[in-house]
Amino acid sequence: MEEQDGYINYPQTPWYEEKENWLYIGGGVLLVVLIVVGSVWFVRSRSAARQMAVEEAQVVEETRGRLNGDLAACEGASDVEGCREDEVRQAAAQAGSIELCQSLSLEAYASCVTDVAVKKQHLESCGALEDPMPCRDRVSFAIAKSERNYGGCERIKDEVLRGSCRDRLIGAAFASGQSCASTHLSEEACLIIELRAQAVGTGDVSVCDRMPTPASAEECVLDMSESDLDRDGLPALQEIELGTDPNNLDTDGDGFGDLEEVENGYNPLGEGRIE
């Protein structure tokens, strides 16, 4: 600090220190704003959650009241237990409440919880069961179908249900005129669909070898074993093993179908008996 001509000259704060001070102030203000906004959001969220819980409880109580009347009406049914089970499952699914399932036997309870979980598309609801996997598979199927997401089918553990999920989504996509590329399907899934159709359509099991994964190759061969392109009663894979044409019900053209000749021990490829 210096004195010149009667004035005291105070040392100036360097510009970088001033900038640093403003950064501290700005950061403090931003922190306060974030705290206020976060507090408001938290309070509103809790309020909305409480309101939703109250509304859900009201729905459950109203449904329970109607259910009591429906259960009383079951006393005159030929199958009282079956009637009561149906009414409880229907009411629980409608209200979205696992609580209403609690009066059922163990097996019926599992079905009831699954109904609720599927209706709500809520995987966590399946946790109320000792064996939650079948429930989760059903919910995953429902979610995949709702979202038209082929990849969602892969979360399903049960092979039969997983295949059904894939077929349902593929059929829905193609029925609406969509190309494979325009759906949620991955390039790999589209390739699998194309190769499966080609293998079954041509009866050429070697097409399955071009599948991108061992699992898809096995499923392709399984499709071949179950398909019957010429409707002669012989699966395509068996025709390939026999050397007959999967697209021709009478390969040798002798007037007898391939299946008829095989069942009677005759050669479906020409004269004579099967050696």
Give the mean model confidence (pLDDT) for residues 127-146: 92
Half-sphere CA count of 270, side-chain side, radius 13 A: 2
Please give the mean pLDDT across all residues of the chain. Answer: 75
Contacts of 217 (CB under 8 A, 6+ apart): 208, 209, 211
The gap from C-alpha 168 to its chain's centroid, in whole angstroms, comes to 11
Percent of all residues in the chain with a pLDDT value above 70, rounded to a whole number: 64
Give the mean model confidence (pLDDT) for residues 167-191: 72
97: left (phi over 0), alpha (psi -120 to 50) or beta: beta
In the prediction, which pLDDT does 49 show? 46
Q: What is the pLDDT of residues 149-158, one digit of tens each?
A: 877 888 999 9
Q: What is the pLDDT of residues 63-100, one digit of tens each?
A: 676 767 777 778 877 888 888 888 888 888 888 888 88
CA-CA-CA-CA torsion for 263, 269, 270, 275, nearest 10 degrees?
-60
Does the pLDDT of residue 262 top 80, yes or no? Answer: no
Determine the number of helices (DSSP H) and then strands (DSSP E) in the chain. 9, 2
Q: What is the pLDDT of residues 198-207, one digit of tens each?
A: 887 777 888 8
If DSSP codes are grouped into helix, strand and coil, which group holds residue 266? strand
pLDDT band at 166 (very low <50, low <70, confident <90, very high): confident
Task: Return the minimum-mean-pLDDT range out of 45-59, 100-114, 154-168, 224-238.
Answer: 45-59
In the prediction, which pLDDT does 143 show? 93
Contacts of 244 (CB under 8 A, 6+ apart): 234, 251, 258, 268, 269
Report how far residue 124's alpha carbon sits from residue 134's, in angstroms, rounded to the nearest whole number. Answer: 13
Does the pLDDT of residue 230 top 60, yes or no? Answer: yes
Q: Are 152 and 144 in contact (CB under 8 A)?
A: yes
